[in-house]
Amino acid sequence: MNDPYVKLAKAQGYRSRAAFKLEEINERDRLIRSGTLVVDLGATPGGWSQVAVRQGAQVIALDILEMEPIAGVTFIQGDFTEEATLNELAGALNNRLVDLVISDMAPNMSGVASVDQARSMYLCELALDFTSSHLKPNGQFLVKVFQGEGFQDYLKVLRTRFEQVLNRKPKASRDRSSEVYLLCKNLRDAVT
């Protein structure tokens, strides 16, 4: 509770301190505007969805955990690693391509660093697969990645799939955390 971002989140009605990570990146890179179609992967408790809705976005959020409703957000509860959940998400899109995919997904941590890193990278790869199939050509993909085993390989793949990949470490991200956010712009060979 001594964390200034936790206090600020409470004061501004955000569900989590993570909201300020997206706010800062959005302020810098202007990802979200009124009418932007956003898919929020790993959405619970909803801080990122709140930021997107406050900017006027249409949001479809997904998480394995339950999330309290947010006005203006279509929420799907399901496991992103399962085909049925992906089909439900695709159905909610109703053949629309997405302007922005945001992924703050993280696995349930086991405490075994190598296992947790592998699980995290797997979720990042799934988010990229989804993005590659559902993003507009000029759309953007913002993904949380933990630096460690597999990070450099994932970064190389992103650079082959997108024209621009930028590294972001928002102030609200704890200094001791190995998390960074990769902002990917202009999908190469996009679905049209």
The answer to whether residues 143 and 166 touch, using CB atoms and an 8 Å cutoff, is: no
Active site residue 144: yes
Rounded Cα distance between 147 and 186, Å, is: 23
Question: What are the phi and psi torsion angles at 31 (to 5°)?
Answer: -80, -35
Of 144, 169, 171, 185, which residue is the catalytic one? 144
- DSSP conformation class of 167: E
Beta bridge partners of 77: 63
Residues in the chain: 192
Residues 6+ apart with CB under 8 A from 30: none
- Give the residue numbers annotated as catalytic, written as ranges: 144
